[in-house]
Structure 1
Amino acid sequence: MIYLKRVIQKYLDWLIILLMNKKKVGLFFGTFDPIHNGHLNIAKYIIEENFAQEVWLVVTPENPIKLKNNISNFHHRYNMVDIATKKYANIIPSDLELNLKKPNYTIDTLEYVSNKMTNVEFSLIIGEDNYKIFDTWKDYKKILSDYKIYIYPRKGTLKESPHIINDNAMYIGGPRIDLSSTNIRNIVSKKSDPKDLISLEVMKYINNNKLYQ
């Protein structure tokens, strides 16, 4: 019964948005170093289940919480996302954080795009690992109150069916990400082929630009 109510509410929300002529866009932030099929599968699932009409893969210049060393040049990472999404009309590469004030906090980016594009309802797509530390994010309570959050399962989690955490946050079903960009970089650095983990076109870009060697 609870699941049925959730499904009904989801489609009622969807109908209301359509009637208001607002497009639903999910923002999926990441370093994407490199983008892999797990990222794309989550984005496709979000669209297929009508959580959003479009998913923007927002390539982050830096992460103010998890400062990473030796990440690839922003433009290489953006180019790989652009290459990987060319055949998907509703999965969009985004460099919107590139020229925003640093450090890039999610709340600032959400408010920026919401104020700039008032005809769009933006939501946030994050992994369960990030949701576990969500209370360390800047203005996390405001994000929870103002934006829908869709949380996808990571390796080792048991959350397989969608369920609501609160009014704006919910675990979604769908593909569990059992791979990481770190693993792919390690595979490439050992001169191995990350077959079936990333697209052939992205792998060609990696080889042509001698990334992760």
Structure 2
Amino acid sequence: MKKLKTGIFSGSFNPIHIGHLALANYLCEYEGLDEIWFMVTPQNPLKTQAELWSDELRLKLVELAIDDYPRFKVSDFEFHLPRPSYSVHTLEKLRETYPEREFHFIIGSDNWARFDRWYQSERIINENQIIIYPRPGFPVNETELPETVRLVHSPVFEISSTFIREALDAGKDIRYFLHPRVWEAIKNMGNNKDLGSN
């Protein structure tokens, strides 16, 4: 039986914005992925916990954003793994848990540029399929990529979650940077500063 090609889009999604959604949409429609799992990371080893909105809130906002596109799924898989979450362990556990799926790990070219800093990065490359999407200022030499790694030529989205949070803090109306349901949820919660850390 043919394995389902499942993209793992792992991130803090702090919060999810239209750049995340448009990229994932492109990967499903143009790059042969059957599904994309938005894997909300409980704690990134390279970020401090204080920067993050609560796990539950970030997960809820992803759910709201992807609800009407059947090829997107939200995953709290990493919530149930030891913290901090390391991608090598997550991917290993995913392969064990879902042998019927072929996982493709999705990262930006900015992360690829510092991939050697990741925990057991060589093992990730050797054991997994990796998709790199372009980020401004981080070109990738396709001729030097390992066999398990491919670069896609998706549109480039210069939006960051940091920009979103700062704009919300400043009281800006940035509804078109967010899925309408996410914008409504954040608005209804009031001041961004109260959205909370764990």
What's the TM-score once normalised by structure 1's chain length?
A: 0.85
The one-character-per-residue Cα deviations of 1:125-173 (angstroms, maximum 9, x if unpaired) are: 01111111111111111111111111111123456x9777220112210
How far apart in 2 are the matches of 1:211 and 1:131? 35
How far apart in 1 are the matches of 2:102 and 2:176? 33
How far apart in 2 are the matches of 1:33 and 1:108? 22
Structure 1 residue 185 corresponds to structure 2 residue 160: no
Higher relative contact order (CA 8 A, sep 6+): 2
Which has the larger displacement, 73-82 or 47-56?
Answer: 47-56
Identity of aligned residues (%): 33
User: Which residue of 114, 119, 122 maps to 2:100?
Assistant: 119
How far apart in 1 are the matches of 2:126 and 2:60? 34
How far apart in 1 are the matches of 2:64 and 2:97? 27
Aligned match of 2:137: 156
User: Which residue of 188, 193, 198 maps to 1:208?
Assistant: 188
Structure 1 residue 85 corresponds to structure 2 residue 66: yes
Residues 66/115 of structure 1: CA separation in 2 closer, same or farther (3 Å cut): same
Structure 1 residue 48 corresponds to structure 2 residue 29: yes
Structure 1 residue 197 corresponds to structure 2 residue 177: yes
User: Which residue of 118, 124, 129 maps to 1:143?
Assistant: 124
Unaligned runs of 5+ in 2: 194-198
Residues 201/142 of structure 1: CA separation in 2 closer, same or farther (3 Å cut): same
Verify the 8 A CA contact 2:40 2:59 in the aligned structure 1. Answer: yes
Verify the 8 A CA contact 2:36 2:73 in the aligned structure 1. Answer: yes
> Which amino acid in the other structure matches residue 146 of structure 2?
N
Aligned match of 1:4: none
Question: Superposition RMSD on alpha carbons, in Å?
Answer: 1.8
What's the TM-score once normalised by structure 2's chain length?
A: 0.91
How far apart in 2 are the matches of 1:24 and 1:165? 21
Residues 45/163 of structure 1: CA separation in 2 closer, same or farther (3 Å cut): farther
The one-character-per-residue Cα deviations of 1:7-61 (angstroms, maximum 9, x if unpaired) are: xxxxxxxxxxxxx421110101111111001001111111112331100000000
* Number of matched pairs: 193
